[in-house]
Structure 1
Amino acid sequence: MAPFNLKIKKGVVGRNKTFEVLRAQLSKTDKTLWFHCASLGEYEQGLPVFKELRSHYKNHKIILSFFSPSGYDIRKESPIADVVVYLPLDTEKNATLFLDLVNPELTIFVKYDIWPNFLKTLKSRNLRAILISAAFRPHQAFFKYYGKQLRDALFAFEHIFTQNEGSKELLKSIGYNKVTVSGDTRFDRVYSQLALDNDLDFISKFKGGKACVVAGSTWPEDEALFIEYINSQSVKDVKFILAPHNIKSSHIQQFKNKLSVKTVFFSNKDNQDLESAQVFILDTIGVLTKVYQYADIAYVGGAMGATGLHNTLEPAVFGVPIIIGNHHSKFPEAQAMIDNGGMFSVSNQNSFNTVLEGLIANQDRRLESGIKNFKYIEKNKGAVIQILHYLRI
């Protein structure tokens, strides 16, 4: 499929270089740790644990592997790792060669990216491995009659830290009992953002003293809501910051052309009058988390269509109300925040307009809903401490 799909091609090319990279950067005498993540989301989930281990194991080399190009491309210069590679395809030969080169004292997999041959080889060599932030559902192959190979792979982990009790019960149903319900490390990850400097002068300049709506990780179906709303409503006293998931220049320009108000891009912010603009489009990556600090209302994309809801915890930690689409059944944190009254699900343009207008008009409601979201984050952090305690760190 590689000749027909750029993302697959990147993975194929990258995997072909993995062993060459490992040979060049590791020696037989190196002490190592291995962290594996499927993609960028799992990396962000594991990051608070990775950082603690990085600071504790100062004399070890850390190998970080990804399966997806979207994770590798963005974090190939990760400061928590000495070597970043694509994980080779899961064959016995690849697993043997990879572990001959890496030979980790400790391996950490994140969530549910389970590779049977790699895990089988780790176990056969008595090498330590744990799974963190695991989330399981009954329909997964681990719990079906045809999933023996995947079930066996789970038993290579000396311990599994799950996000919830349901996942623990599913593991118990297949005879795996070395489980701790620690919660989701993403709560620790986003909470740590509050200790950082999140100030962005250009966003302060753009926002001025007006209410600001920040829409993160939007897809076309999300963007259509904002185009219609901004073009048809009298919202001169409201600023909008939009961060499309697709930042290709052709898409970004097409998006801008559909808006009837003054719009500026991050890429040319230094040459624009930011104060007079009403829409700011982030045609870049890496700043959205900080931008959420300036939101009075947040919108998180992905749930208006079938692509999957993006990270709602990032804006929640800044104590702002959040709007999402209605396809969020696979995201328990979204339902929890909806039940708490801090998040609002919309299904069409009319419901979007109603919810957004209501929040814009009622500052007290915004503050009340935002506080509920912050308290939800605060209540659920703490997974990292439990994992480090198990590892005796």
Structure 2
Amino acid sequence: FLISASFRVDQPFFRWFGGSWRRMLGLFTHLFVQDERSKELLEGVGVRNVTVSGDTRFDRVTAIVAEARALPIARAFRKASELPVVVAGSTWSADEELLAKAAQGRAVRLVAVPHEPVPEALERIEQAFPAPVVRWSFAEERMDTPAPAHMPPEQDPLHARTLLVDRMGLLANLYREGDLAYVGGGFTDGIHSILEAAAWGRPVIFGPRHRKFPEAAGLIAAGGGFEVRDANTLSATLHQLLDDPASLKAASQAAARFVRDHTGATDRVAGHLLRALSAQGLQEGH
């Protein structure tokens, strides 16, 4: 079985030289695809054992939201100021350069989560992003230590402009503490998961390289996703969303609705598999 597959017309399966690729498709008992276009492409080359089931990733991110644990540091950072918070997840240097430029002179705070929290990436963000910048690990120590008496709020690390996350495995739950999200990878090999942010009802901004990810076009069409191509378009998008509460609310609702409307693939696939296995068992019983 092939589950949650997505096919594009430019793939070898559908090209004149793709005979061996098409033969591979015949090895599957059944193919579960994300959309009607994928089914049409497969049927066009003679593959009939296809069902449009949707994408099981929508169910996974919905489960993450339902089972999320609290992150006290992120919550304290958000509550330390009334400024809007942008969670920048899975960023690379190209993303960080745009974010740094777009944040200049703007009343906004950032939660920065580099794709690879190696020393050079952390140092790069510390130098480029709005200061003061506090690392997550330092904030952890601060949370475990009583604050000095009469310490001015501006000296509290959690009042920083940028919270730099130097820990792994936190991103999916961090999106809940932002007003909107920026997801990296759209200026390198392709965007990372935008569904994790959208599942929290956060508008998602990303770069132009998302052709292999149909959920990006879907989220844009739904009104919850925003493609940017440079610092100017990023700045304009931040202005559109952060300076207009009605626009931010509409985009947030659209993002949440997009994920909600696409859940259920896991149950559809499981139902088909159970029927297929049951039928196989009956045949073997005879």
TM bucket normalised to smaller: 0.7 to 0.9
- 1:275 deviates by 2.3
* 8 Å Cα contact 1:313-1:377 kept in structure 2: yes
Q: Check whether the contact 1:198–1:293 (CA below 8 A) recurs between aligned residues.
A: no
Question: Is residue 2:227 matched to residue 1:345?
Answer: yes
4+ long deviations beyond 3 Å: 271-274
1:291 matched residue in structure 2: 174
- Which residue number in structure 1 is paired with residue 128 of structure 2? 258
Q: Partner of 2:97 in structure 1? A: 224
Residue 129 of structure 2 corresponds to residue 247 of structure 1: no
- Contact 2:109–2:162 (Cα < 8 Å) also in 1: yes
Distance 1:173 1:228, change over 3 A: same
8 Å contact 2:172–2:197 — kept in the other structure?
Answer: yes
Is residue 205–residue 225 contact of structure 2 (8 Å, CA) maintained in 1?
A: yes
Aligned residue among 276, 282, 285 for 2:165: 282
Which of 269, 281, 285 is the aligned partner of 2:139? 269
**Alignment root-mean-square deviation, CA:** 1.7
Tell me the TM-score normalised to structure 1 length.
Answer: 0.63
1:289 alignment partner, SS class: helix
Q: Superposed, which structure 2 residues align to 1:22-41 within 5 Å?
A: none
CA distance, structure 2, for counterparts of residue 381 and residue 146 of structure 1: 36
- SS of equivalent residue, structure 2 residue 2: strand
Verify the 8 A CA contact 2:34 2:54 in the aligned structure 1.
Answer: yes
Partner amino acid for 1:233?
Answer: G
How many angstroms apart in 2 are the aligned matches of 1:190 and 1:215? 18
1:233 has 2:115 as partner: no
- Aligned partner of 1:190 among 61, 83, 101: 61
What residue number does 1:384 align with?
266
Q: CA deviation at 1:190?
A: 0.9
Contact 1:216 1:301 in 2 (8 A): yes
3-state SS of the aligned residue for 2:7? coil
The 1:197–1:327 alpha-carbon spacing in structure 2 relative to 1, beyond 3 Å, is closer
Conservation of the 8 A alpha-carbon contact between 2:199 and 2:255: yes
CA distance in 2, matches of 1:260, 1:202: 19
CA spacing shift, 1:274–1:203, aligned 2, 3 Å: farther
Distance 1:148 1:348 in 2: 40
Q: Could you tell me how far 1:199 is from its partner in structure 2?
A: 1.4
| Deviation for aligned residue 1:138 | 1.9
Alpha-carbon distance in 2 for matches of 1:352, 1:275: 26
Query: For 2:257, which of 357, 360, 375 is the aligned residue?
Result: 375
Matches within 5 A, 1:91-240: 130-208=1-79, 209-210=81-82, 211-230=84-103, 232-235=104-107, 238-240=108-110
Contact 2:2/2:28 (<8 A) preserved: yes
Unaligned regions of 5+ residues in structure 1, if any?
A: 1-129
For 1:312-323, list aligned pairs within 5 A. 312-323=194-205
Q: Distance in 1 between matches of 2:271 and 2:17?
A: 36
- CA positional deviation for 1:188: 0.8
Partner of 1:3: none
Alignment check: 8 A CA contact 1:205 1:274 kept: no
Shift of 1:198: 3.3
Q: Where does structure 2 lack aligned partners over 5 or more consecutive residues?
A: 143-155, 276-286
Query: Contact between 1:320 and 1:367, CA under 8 Å: does it hold in 2?
Result: no
Rounded to whole Å, the distance in 1 between the matches of 2:18 and 2:41 is 13
Partners of 2:273 and 2:122 lie apart in 1 by 46
Secondary structure, aligned partner of 2:181: strand
Q: How far apart in 1 are the matches of 2:19 and 2:92?
A: 38
